[in-house]
C-alpha cells in the first residue's frame, strides 16, 4: 500500500449494508506524487508528442478534415470500450444518408458527437461555460440523448447508489460514494480543476480522470464523459487546442489494464502506476495520430493528382473531390445535395471519381449506388472494427 486515497462509508441498500468508497480530494498526498523516475520521463515524452500533434495541426492546410475524422474515431472507440457495437463505417453511413440513426448503438455514438460539439463550443466561446459540473451535466444530457439513455437521468447527478461490476453492490468490483456525499465531493472536484497547483497540467488531467471515474457521478455514461473530460482539460490547459487526440484507442487496446489501474489507485494508492500507464498512452496515441494525419494527407494529395490526370475530370468532380474527406461515403443523392446540381451532373461527377480509382462501389445495387473513398477510410478505420 503506497498511500490511503479515501475512506469507506457504510451505506445500507434495501438488502444489505455495503462499503462505499469516498475518495479524498485531489491532489494525491501522504506522500505527495513522486514525479521523478519513470513518471517524470514519461511526462517529458508525452508532452513532447502532444506538442508535435499540436504543430502537425498547425501545418496541415485543411485541419477541419482531421478534426472531423478524429472526433468520430474517438467517439466510436470510446463507446466500444464498454461494448457498443457500432463501427466507424456504420456512423459514416448514417451521416451520408442524412437520415435519423437506426439502432441504439449508432444513436449512442451520435450522442457522443453532440456532446463533444457542445462542450467544445462552450469552452472556446468567450461567454461559454467554463469546465464545471454545470458544463459536464449539460454535456451528459446530450451524451445520453436517444432511446437507451432516456431512463438513465440524462444531465442529472445520480440520486441513488450505483456500483461497477457484479449484480448488486454487495458483490461489486467497486461501490462509488453514496449519493448524499456527491454535492460536497463534486465541489471539491471542481476546485481541483480551478485551484492553483504546482503539478504539471498533464499530471492533473490524468488524476482528474481517475477521480471522475471514482466518483461515478451519473447513473450511466461516466466512462464516456470521463474520457471526454480528458479532451476538454487538454484544451483548458492549452496542451492541445483541437480535439485531435483519440486516447480511447489506447484505453480500448489495454482495457483490462485500464480498469486494473483505476482500481489500484483506490485499493493501493498507486497514483504513479496509473500515471505511467496514462502518460504512455498519451505519447503512443499522439504519435500514431500524427502518422495517421500524414497518411490521410498523402492519400488526398495522390487522389487529387489522379483525378486531374484523368480524362473524365470535370469542374464538378473536382469540387466533389474536395468535399470527400468530410463525406467519404457518397450516394448520388448526397452528391446532388453537396453540389446543388442535377442528378445526371452528380452521377457524372461520381463517375469521374470512380474512373480515377478514388471512389469504389460499396454495394452493387445500381439504383442506389453508394461509393466509398476506400483508401482514406482504410487508414481512418484502423482499430475501429469490431473484434471477432
Ligand atoms: N474498477 C474501476 N474503478 C473505477 N472506474 C472504473 C472501473 N472499471 C471501470 N471503470 C470506469 O467506468 C466506466 C463505465 O461506467 P459507465 O457509467 O457505464 O460509463 P459508460 O456508459 O460511458 O461506459 C468505464 O469505462 C471506466 O472508465
Ligand atoms: Mg454504461
In angstroms, rounded to a whole number, what is the distance separating the alpha carbons of residues 242 and 238?
A: 10
Q: What pLDDT score does 364 carry?
A: 65
Strand partners for 330: 371
From atom 9 of ligand 1, which residue's Cα is the shortest distance away?
259
* Among 6, 23, 81, 82, residue to substitute to test ligand 1 (most atoms within 8 Å of Cβ): 82
Q: Residue 231: CB within 6 Å of ligand 1?
A: no
- Give the range among 66-70, 99-103, 333-337 with minimum mean pLDDT: 99-103
pLDDT-based confidence at residue 10 (cuts at 50, 70, 90): confident
DSSP-derived pairing of the beta strands 6-12 and 370-373: unpaired
Q: What pLDDT score does 100 carry?
A: 77
**What DSSP assignment string belongs to 195-218?**
S--SS-HHHHHHHHHHHHHHH--S
Q: What is the mean pLDDT of residues 52-81?
A: 92
What separation in Å is there between the alpha carbon of 154 and the centre of ligand 2? 12
**Which set of grid coordinates corresponds to residue 102?**
437506426
* Among 157, 169, 226, 262, residue to substitute to test ligand 1 (most atoms within 8 Å of Cβ): 262
Residue 76 has pLDDT above 90, yes or no: yes
3-state secondary structure of 350: helix
CATH architecture of 311-380: Orthogonal Bundle (1.10)
In angstroms, rounded to a whole number, what is the distance separating the alpha carbons of residues 146 and 101?
A: 10
What separation in Å is there between the alpha carbon of 82 and the centre of ligand 2? 6
Residue 207 and residue 201 in contact, taking contact as beta carbons nearer than 8 Å: no
Which ligand has the nearest atom to the CA of 222? 1
DSSP-derived pairing of the beta strands 6-12 and 17-23: antiparallel
Residue 134 has pLDDT above 90, yes or no: yes
- Domain ranges in the chain are 6-292, 311-380
Q: Residue 154: CB within 6 Å of ligand 1?
A: no
Q: What pLDDT score does 366 carry?
A: 57
Residue 175 has pLDDT above 60, yes or no: yes
Q: Give residue-wise pLDDT tens across range 244-282.
A: 999 999 999 999 999 999 999 999 999 999 999 999 999
SS3 sequence of 263-279: HHHHHHCCHHHHHHHHH
Query: How far is C-alpha 9 from the geometric centre of its chain's CA atoms?
Result: 33
Residue 149 has pLDDT above 90, yes or no: no
Q: Residue 172: CB within 6 Å of ligand 1?
A: no
Q: What pLDDT score does 53 carry?
A: 96
Long-range contacts of 337-346, Cβ-Cβ distance < 8 Å, separation of 24 or more: 337/98, 341/316, 345/316, 346/316, 346/320
For the chain, the first-to-last Cα distance in angstroms comes to 38
In angstroms, rounded to a whole number, what is the distance separating the alpha carbons of residues 284 and 132?
A: 29
Q: What pLDDT score does 255 carry?
A: 97
Give whole-number Cα distances, 117 to 97, 129, 146, 153, 307, in Å: 21, 13, 16, 21, 33
Residue 375 has pLDDT above 80, yes or no: yes
Task: Give domain 6-292's CATH number out of 1.10.600.10, 1.10.10.10, 3.40.50.300, 1.10.3290.10.
Answer: 1.10.3290.10
What separation in Å is there between the alpha carbon of 255 and the centre of ligand 1? 11
- Same fold for the domain at 6-292 and the one at 311-380? no
Mean pLDDT of the chain: 94
Q: Residue 108: CB within 6 Å of ligand 1?
A: no
Q: What pLDDT score does 148 carry?
A: 85
Amino acid at each position: 500500500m503506497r498511500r490511503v486515497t479515501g475512506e469507506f462509508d457504510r451505506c445500507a441498500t434495501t438488502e444489505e449494508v455495503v462499503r462505499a468508497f469516498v475518495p479524498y480530494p485531489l491532489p494525491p498526498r501522504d506522500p505527495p506524487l513522486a514525479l521523478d523516475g519513470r513518471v517524470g520521463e514519461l511526462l517529458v515524452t508525452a508532452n513532447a508528442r502532444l506538442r508535435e500533434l499540436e504543430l502537425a495541426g498547425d501545418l496541415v492546410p485543411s485541419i477541419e478534415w482531421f478534426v472531423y475524422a478524429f472526433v468520430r474515431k474517438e467517439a466510436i472507440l470510446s463507446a466500444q470500450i464498454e461494448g457498443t457495437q457500432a463501427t466507424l463505417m456504420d456512423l459514416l453511413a448514417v451521416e451520408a444518408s442524412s437520415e435519423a440513426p437506426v439502432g441504439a448503438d449508432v444513436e449512442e455514438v451520435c450522442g457522443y458527437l453532440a456532446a463533444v460539439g457542445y462542450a467544445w463550443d462552450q469552452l472556446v466561446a468567450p461567454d461559454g461555460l467554463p469546465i464545471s459540473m454545470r458544463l459536464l451535466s449539460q454535456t451528459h444530457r446530450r451524451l445520453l440523448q436517444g432511446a437507451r439513455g432516456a431512463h438513465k437521468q440524462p444531465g442529472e447527478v445520480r440520486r441513488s447508489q450505483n456500483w461497477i461490476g457484479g449484480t448488486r453492490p454487495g458483490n461489486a468490483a467497486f461501490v462509488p460514494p453514496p449519493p448524499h456525499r456527491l454535492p460536497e465531493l463534486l465541489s471539491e472536484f471542481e476546485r481541483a480543476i480551478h485551484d492553483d497547483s504546482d503539478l504539471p497540467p498533464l499530471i492533473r488531467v490524468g488524476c482528474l480522470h481517475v477521480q471522475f471515474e471514482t466518483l461515478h457521478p451519473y447513473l450511466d455514461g461516466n466512462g464516456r464523459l470521463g474520457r471526454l473530460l480528458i479532451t476538454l482539460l487538454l484544451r483548458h490547459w492549452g496542451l492541445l487546442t483541437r480535439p485531435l487526440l483519440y486516447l480511447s484507442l489506447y484505453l480500448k487496446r489495454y482495457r483490462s489494464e485500464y480498469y486494473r489501474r483505476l482500481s489500484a489507485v483506490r485499493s493501493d494508492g498507486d497514483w504513479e502506476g496509473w500515471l505511467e500507464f496514462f502518460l504512455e498512452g498519451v505519447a503512443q496515441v499522439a504519435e500514431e495520430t500524427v502518422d495517421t494525419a500524414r497518411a490521410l494527407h498523402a492519400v488526398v494529395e495522390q487522389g487529387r493528382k489522379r483525378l486531374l490526370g484523368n480524362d473524365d475530370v470535370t469542374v464538378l468532380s473536382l469540387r466533389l473531390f474536395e468535399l470527400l474527406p468530410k463525406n467519404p461515403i457518397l450516394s448520388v443523392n448526397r452528391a446532388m445535395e453537396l453540389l446543388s446540381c442535377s442528378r445526371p451532373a452528380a452521377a457524372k461527377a461520381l463517375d469521374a471519381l470512380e474512373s480515377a480509382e478514388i471512389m469504389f462501389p460499396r454495394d452493387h445495387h445500381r439504383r442506389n449506388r453508394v461509393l466509398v473513398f476506400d483508401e482514406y477510410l482504410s487508414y481512418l478505420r484502423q482499430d475501429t472494427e469490431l473484434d471477432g
